[in-house]
A and B are shown apart, each in its own frame.
Chain A
Amino acid sequence: MKTKKNVLERAMVSVQTKVQATVPAERQVQAAHMAKKAQRLAGKGKPLVLTERPIPDAADVPLAELDVSNPFLFRQGKSRDYFKRLREEAPVHYMPDSPFGPFWSITRYEDIRAVDTNAEVFSAEPVIVMGDIPLEIAMFIAMDPPRHDTQRKAVQGVVAPKNLKEMESLIRERIVEVLDSLPTDRPFDWVDRVSIEITGRMLATLLDFPYEQRRKLTYWSDAISGTTEGTGGITHQDEFFKATAELAREFIALWHDKAARREQGETGFDLVTLMQSSDETKDMISRPLEFLGNLTLLIVGGNDTTRNSMSGGVLALHQNRDQFEKLKANPDLIPNMVSEIIRWQTPLAYMRRIATRDVHFGGQFIRKGDKIIMWYASGNRDEAQFDDPDAFRIDRANARHHMSFGFGVHRCMGNRLAEMQLRILWEELLARFDQIEVIGEPTYVQSNFVRGYGRMIVQLTPKSDG
């Protein structure tokens, strides 16, 4: 019997592999889309609709009903008090009923680090956002060891410090181009002209994606990470599938184009070239969903995060003028300030885990299969770890200990690239501008995952050369 089952299983795997290899990724995405639509027509899997309402103060809500999955929490400025209350009164908190299903919230720094470094008990599979996603694309951020390790090693070279060193002057050149084109005689949208522009250029460079089409990368990333079901964002399922299929089509074309150029002797340090030159990944194209997963991860990982830290830094310095003066007096503080910006902003609020077995944690009993949210946004404001945690201090001694990059095997692979981009941005800003003033209030992204800005109007004052 055992042998028969094994034979069947092997046959199944072989068929799946064949399907993956021969059916274009774009078709596979379309098939998944059709299945979702059929479900919807059958009255199942109704799309989630979220309407913004004023959120009550943390103190006015019973502890058991404190719902931090609300995607309007950050926008309405409530996230600080909600998490403070959880840290103080229920650091391992159960929410039995939310639009994203039941979940546990871990809100203290040390507890989050303990969960994050225990991949055996707290699994990252199958997805790392709070809710369901329409199509589970295979990405290593949502895989456990050892599968995670092999896949990550295959692509991490593209953002490894060694590669970055080669790229620093190119990164600076691109940032300088963006800054030199900014108006100083009128206000403009910082998010669009600086944050999106720089991260888009960087991604296009890393992926060797057609430069003039770089805004597509931003669009795909936003659409994929912003599904209502997954993160409480504004992407409808249909748009998610459209974006994913487009991304698949264009990157598979890019893969073949690069392969042809490689044969003619072209070299490069971009992701696809790296994949094509490593034994482990050179046939990645025959596993299109995996290829798609790795790409999506890099695009999403390199987009929202750095973009919102670029905007967040400007806002933090605008709100804390004394810190801006301190910075101008001592530009050597830039690297430490970069860590402080990443702590203060926490561009991704959390990562999700699933308990692989029953476990006692923080005085609570977590059952096998329960969903656990590690709130980095809260750990980064934990009074037990950071002195006066809500203050923005560019010379904070332990700013580097922030948890925005996560801890453990899933620690952000692009951390050094992110830091480098932010450092260069601030070096070049200080060389050019005396004041960076935010006009009015920025708008905030609707999401429980991405802590970001939609628009931020800024007026620059050039440095007087006297």
Chain B
Amino acid sequence: MPTVTFVEHDGTPHTIDFVEGQSMMEAATNNAVPGIEGDCGGEAACGTCHIIITDDWISTTGTRSDRESQMIEMSPECQANSRLACQLVASKAMDGLKVRLPEFQM
């Protein structure tokens, strides 16, 4: 199965399997990755699945949409490659993806 690694703010990595077509937020919450909350259920409406994509992966994942920006840009930890995991649909091309988590979710 393809995998994705979520790296907590303190450096702790969590490598989990994902299923193509699910969102990275669902993959994370199904595997109880700490620091991904997904309070709104995946509608880009709460900002609690904030992840930061590393530069070498951003062309694969793509940058955030306006809808994501509305929420993430309110976070003091927002960076150029910040995204909402609920809006990132997992694909085969993302096998091996590594993302960082902010220190806090909103």
A50 to B37, CA, bound (A): 43
The closest CB in chain A to the CB of B40 belongs to A407
Is B41 a contact partner of A401 (Cβ separation < 8 A)?
Answer: yes
> Could you tell me the distance between the alpha carbons of A116 and B44 in the complex, rounded to whole angstroms?
11
* CA distance in complex: A400, B38 (Å): 9
Contact (A157, B76) CB under 8 Å given A400-B37, A408-B70, A411-B106: yes
Flag if B71 contacts A409 (CB, 8 Å): yes
Whether, in the assembled complex, B103 has its beta carbon less than 8 Å from a beta carbon of chain A, the answer is yes
Q: Are A411 and B47 in contact (CB under 8 A)?
A: yes
Q: Across the interface, do B70 and A409 meet the contact criterion of CB distance under 8 Å?
A: yes
Chain A residues with CB under 8 A of B37: 400
A407, B70: Cβ atoms under 8 Å?
no
Cβ of B43 under 8 Å from chain A? yes
Interface string of B43-69 (1 = CB under 8 A from A): 111110000000000000000000100
Tell me if B73 counts as interface (CB < 8 A to partner A). yes
In the assembled complex, A117 has its CB within 8 A of some CB on chain B: yes
Chain B residue numbers with a CB within 8 Å of A145 are 70
With A113-B45, A407-B46 given, is the CB distance from A152 to B40 under 8 Å? no
Whether B39 sits at the interface, judged by CB under 8 Å, is yes
Complex partner residue of A409 from B74, B76, B104, CB under 8 angstroms: B74
Residues of A within 8 A of B46 (CB): 405, 407, 411
Interface size class of A (residues with CB under 8 A): 20 to 34
Which residues from chain B contact A156 at a C-beta distance below 8 Å? Answer: 74, 76
CB distance from B8 to the nearest CB of A (A): 14
Chain B positions within 8 Å of A416 at CB level: 104
Contact with A along B77-106 (1 / 0, CB 8 A): 000000000000000000000000001111
Q: What is the chain B residue whose CB lies nearest that of A116? A: B45
Shortest distance from the beta carbon of B11 to any chain A beta carbon, whole Å:
18
**CA separation between A162 and B43, bound complex, in Å?**
25
Q: For residues 325 through 380 of chain A, which have their beta carbon under 8 Å from a beta carbon of chain B?
A: none
Q: Which residues of B contact A401 (CB under 8 A)?
A: 39-41
Residues of B contacting A117 in the complex (Cβ-Cβ under 8 angstroms) = 43-45, 67
The residue of chain A having its C-beta at the shortest distance from the C-beta of B29 within the complex is: A400
Chain A hits for B71, CB < 8 A:
408-409, 411
Query: CB within 8 Å of B: which of A385-425?
Result: 398, 400-401, 405, 407-409, 411, 415-416
Cβ-closest chain A residue relative to B48: A400
Q: Are A411 and B45 in contact (CB under 8 A)?
A: yes
Residues of A within 8 A of B40 (CB): 113, 401, 407
A80 sits at the interface (CB 8 A): no
A405 to B40, CA, bound (A): 10
- Asked whether A48 is an interface residue with its Cβ less than 8 Å from the other chain, the reply is no
Contact between chains at A162 and B104 (CB < 8 Å): yes
A162 to B106 Cα, complex, angstroms = 11
Q: Is A149 an interface residue (CB 8 A)?
A: yes
Of all chain A residues, the one with the shortest Cβ separation from B104 is: A161
Chain A's nearest CB lies how many Å from the CB of B81? Answer: 20
Could you say which residues of chain A place their CB within 8 Å of the CB of B73? 149
Residue numbers in A under 8 Å from B39 (CB-CB)? 400-401, 405
> Which A86-136 residues have C-beta < 8 A from chain B?
113, 116-117, 119
Is A260 part of the binding interface, using a Cβ–Cβ cutoff of 8 Å?
Answer: no
* Interface contact A153-B43, CB-CB below 8 Å: no
CA distance A401 to B67 in the complex (A): 19
User: Inside 8 A of B47's CB, which chain A residues have their CB?
Assistant: 411
Whose C-beta in chain B lies nearest to the C-beta of A402?
B39
Q: A161-B103, A162-B104, A407-B46 are in contact. Are A152 and B74 (CB under 8 A)?
A: yes
Instruction: List residues of chain B with CB under 8 Å of any chain A CB.
Output: 37, 39-41, 43-47, 67, 70-71, 73-74, 76, 103-106
* 16 pairs of residues in contact across A and B, judged by CB atoms under 8 Å: A119-B70, A145-B70, A149-B73, A149-B74, A152-B74, A153-B74, A156-B74, A160-B76, A161-B104, A400-B37, A401-B40, A401-B41, A405-B39, A409-B70, A411-B47, A415-B106
* Apart from the given pairs A149-B74, A160-B104, A400-B39, 16 other A-B contacts in the complex at a CB distance below 8 Å: A113-B43, A117-B43, A117-B45, A156-B76, A161-B105, A162-B76, A162-B103, A162-B104, A398-B41, A401-B39, A401-B40, A405-B39, A409-B70, A409-B74, A411-B45, A411-B71
- A-B pairs with the 3 shortest C-beta distances? A161-B104, A407-B45, A117-B45
